A and B are shown apart, each in its own frame.
Chain A
Amino acid sequence: MNKLIRRNLIRAAIILAIQVILLKRIDITFSGFNYIHFTIYPVILALLPYKTDKTLMVLIGFVMGFFVDMFYDSPGVHAATSTFTAYLRYYILALIAPTDGYGKDGLTSYGYGFVWFVSYMGILLFIHLLALYSIEAFSFVYLNEILLRSIFSFIASFFLLVLAQLIFNPRY
């Protein structure tokens, strides 16, 4: 159990570091096309053990989002989004539950198969990005922009996450 917590903490630290130090600086812009932003930290929420308490999930989501916010200079935006995603994770899991239920703690492709992981991660990430850019724009007047950003950022970030999953193939 301790190993599980330690593993998650280290993973969170590494991913957050990559997010706020490296990915934040990557700015893909060509001729007014500025819709790609890498956002990989939702994977921390996704990979938390299945048995994590719901309340604790929500708290973790908030703290994590707030941490990201401090680096992105946008107090509250990522916090609101992460809290939202953390709360929704339970329902996403219920939605795509495997036929024999969740027997193992690690919600990875190692435990439940690549296809399951891709759909789980895809739904979670896309919801996160859509919420993120909606809250960032703070108005549905910019619906086009919100959708474009969500879709392109989703493709880029999702690619990174699946690649990492394939390379490291973690058990937990």
Chain B
Amino acid sequence: MRNLIYLIIRYSALFVFILLECLSFYLIVNYNRSQKEIWSHSSNLFTGGINKRMENIQNYFSLQVQNDSLLSENARLREQIINYRVASKENAFQEFESTDTLRKYHLIPVGVCGKTLNLRNNYFTLCKGRAAGIRPGMGVISDKGIVGIVKTVSNHFSTVLLLTNSQSRISARIKDSNYPGTIVWNNSNPRIVNLIEVPRHAVVEIGDSIVCSGYSISFAPDVFIGRIADFKIHEGNSNYSIDVELSEDLSALDFVYVIDYHYIEEKSNQLELENE
């Protein structure tokens, strides 16, 4: 303490000098217009630069949160598109319908936790389960097309039967000519699936879009699946055998959306009645 006082006394001129200079500059900056402007401008430049840098760093840390929010927003938008499409189709001859029809499909964004891709029967494991509202039978889509159907569900995980699974059967149709068929996978190329049960009188062209028929409980109508890459009719067969190229590589997916159809139980009951 005594040393400190000695120090202050010894350098009192310096301390007084610094103090008075600070006071003067305070006066300059506060009571002179042009200096004030220069001061505030340059300090803005300085602090602005720091703020921007800090924000960049912060952005980096909040990427995950932003990703999630973008994902849920995406889900909401896609949901709207699907619902509007359905509504417009079903209401073609009706002028008025309650807005409830717009809420038939709900999308749940989910991350992919595990994959099997090179087997004969391929599955995805999703990071959400019953707790998030996922039920067996729901369809799974990605940004560009369909992925598969939820097969089993635990509380926090669920298993998806991919398109590239030999057991998968998904109702589809050719978009332009409206002929229905079924998507199966009976080759080994993960980018190609097969559309079967299209009658030989149907009009088929390479490049035609294949979309979901909307007859099943899993998928909304008109969800894109892929394009016709090749087709032929085997001798003595009454149906086409069509190769459909998928719009994306399933192995590259990290995020998917599960389609929650509002009337899923009602419709599945109805379908069962028909089958009886």
Q: Which residues of A contact B (CB under 8 A)?
A: 53-55, 57-59, 61-62, 65, 69, 74-77, 79-80, 83-84, 86-87, 90, 135-136, 138-139
Contacts and interface: CB of A to CB of B under 8 A. Distances in A.
B132 interface: no
Contacts of B30: 75
B17 A58 contact: yes
Q: Provide the main secondary structure of the chain B interface.
A: helix
18 contacts: A54-B13, A55-B13, A58-B16, A62-B20, A75-B27, A75-B30, A75-B31, A76-B26, A76-B27, A76-B28, A76-B29, A76-B31, A77-B32, A77-B35, A79-B20, A87-B17, A90-B13, A135-B28
Given A138-B39, A139-B42, A57 B13 contact: yes
Contacts, number: 67
B104 to A, nearest CB: 65
A125 to B, nearest CB: 19
Interface residues of B, number: 22
A64 B194 CA distance: 95
Interface in B1-40: 12-14, 16-17, 20-21, 23-32, 34-35, 38-39
Contacts of B29: 76
Contacts of A84: 17, 21
B89 to A, nearest CB: 66
Nearest to B28: A76
Nearest to B9: A55
Interface hub of A53, A74, A76, A90 (most chain B Cβ within 10 A): A76
A62 B24 contact: yes
Contacts of B28: 74-77, 80, 135, 138
A51 to B, nearest CB: 14
A59 B32 contact: no
A80 B17 CA distance: 9
B31 A59 contact: no
Contacts of A77: 24, 28, 32, 35
Interface hub of A53, A58, A74, A79 (most chain B Cβ within 10 A): A58
B42 to A, nearest CB: 7
B20 A58 contact: yes
| 6 smallest beta-carbon distances between A and B, as pairs | A76-B27, A80-B24, A54-B13, A76-B28, A75-B31, A87-B17
A54 B20 CA distance: 14
A76 B16 contact: no
A61 to B, nearest CB: 8
